[in-house]
Amino acid sequence: MTPADLSRTVLHTVQRAVEADELPAAVPTRVTVRVPPRPGCGDFATNVALRVAQDTGRPAREVAEVLRKRLAAEPGIARVEIAGPGFLNITLEGNSYVQLVRDALDPPAAAEPLPLPDPGHELPALLARLGSDAARWSLVWPPGAGRAELLVQREHNPLFRVRYAHARTQRLLRNARDLGFRSEAAGPAEYEHPAAAPLLAALADHRRVRAARDPRRLARHLDRTAGAFLTWQTDRAVLPLGDEKPSAVHRARLALAEATGNVLADGLHQLGITAPAHL
């Protein structure tokens, strides 16, 4: 279930509650779900109950409880909890994440490169100074970040971070092949681990970001995805250690790494930037 799918589910839940006279309110035209700012607050959160409560005159937590019961019964949702004044924290079932990873393992059809902001007379100088990849990234990243930093091979450089994360996924795949195993998106328990939540949320967002065709938004999304991947793979060993034999857990983690590589490659290609297999 992607964020877009979940947003539609939440909206339909509100609509059904209104039609059943459980909530005397107007149905919003759209609702949003976001990744909570802190771990342990579910996979996604929405403030829809607070918005609907303004029409009903009822306490937001009371409205949230009506929606919580209905949402918790929806396929793909493991549980729904009420937080604060009436936020709904939603945790997806692990099987939904398995399908998300499987979908990302099948790379989308190549999209036309996005038109980038036109730097005018600056372009020749940018190309000469930074090279093609860094020059193109500089057009979609805040100028205050410092263009010279885009040539620094360190994780504080967002372009390096994104390209390094992609190269890291490819190295994991090569090493796994040398060890005689391949990825397999299975075992929902592995994807339910808190360490995987930010990465899975970023992967789930890719389809929506891709469809928006906004190069600046895409660059921010790639940076977020790369950061989440590098944090996750530090916490969760993708390859067997020592004499350990490859297991279902390793195959599931490798599938998440491969899916991340596909998403990063797709985004970089849309920006006209190379996605290196080695770095």
Residue 240 host element (H or E): none
Q: What pLDDT is recorded for position 69?
A: 94
Select from 8, 4, 2 the least CA-distant residue to 71.
8
Residue 176: CB partners within 8 Å, gap ≥ 6?
Answer: 182, 183, 238, 239, 246, 250, 254
d(CA 87, CA 37): 13
Query: 82 has which bridge partners?
Result: 88
Per 3-state DSSP, the chain is made up of helix, strand and coil in percentages (nearest 5) of: 60, 5, 35
What is the model's pLDDT at position 113?
A: 87
Is residue 159 a contact partner of residue 147, using CB atoms and an 8 Å limit?
A: no
3-state secondary structure of 100: helix
Residue 243 structure tokens: 């004499």
Structure confidence at residue 95 (pLDDT):
67
Cβ-proximal residues to 220 (8 Å cutoff; 6+ apart), any chain: none
237-251 burial, b at 16+ Cβ within 10 Å, e below that, comes to: ebbbeeeeeeeebbb
| Residue 242 pLDDT | 87
The DSSP bridge partners found for residue 44 are 90
User: What is the layout of strands, in order, in the sheet containing 77-83?
Assistant: 44-46, 87-92, 77-83
Q: 246, 205 in Cβ contact below 8 A?
A: no
Please state which of the four CATH numbers 1.10.230.10, 3.40.1190.10, 1.10.730.10, 3.30.420.40 is assigned to the domain occupying 97-270. 1.10.730.10
**Model pLDDT, residue 94:** 66
Sequence-ordered strand ranges (E) for the chain: 44-46, 77-83, 87-92
Query: 0.85 exceeded by the pTM?
Result: no
The 10s digit of each residue's pLDDT in 161-186 is 999 999 999 999 999 999 999 999 98
Contact assessment for residue 158 and residue 264, using Cβ atoms and an 8 Å cutoff: no
CATH 3.30.1360.70 domain extents, the chain: 3-92
What residue ranges of the chain are covered by domains with CATH 1.10.730.10?
97-270
Q: Which residues contact 102 (CB under 8 A, 6 or more apart)?
A: 185, 255
Tell me the pLDDT of the chain (279 aa) as tens digits: 677 788 899 999 999 999 999 998 888 888 888 877 666 677 789 999 999 998 888 999 999 999 999 999 998 888 899 999 999 999 887 667 888 899 899 877 777 889 988 887 888 888 888 899 988 999 898 765 567 787 878 888 899 999 999 999 999 999 999 999 999 998 777 887 888 888 988 898 898 888 889 999 999 999 999 999 999 999 899 999 988 999 999 999 999 999 999 999 999 999 999 999 998
Q: How far apart are CA 69 and CA 46, in angstroms?
A: 15
Q: Does domain 3-92 have CATH number 2.60.40.10?
A: no
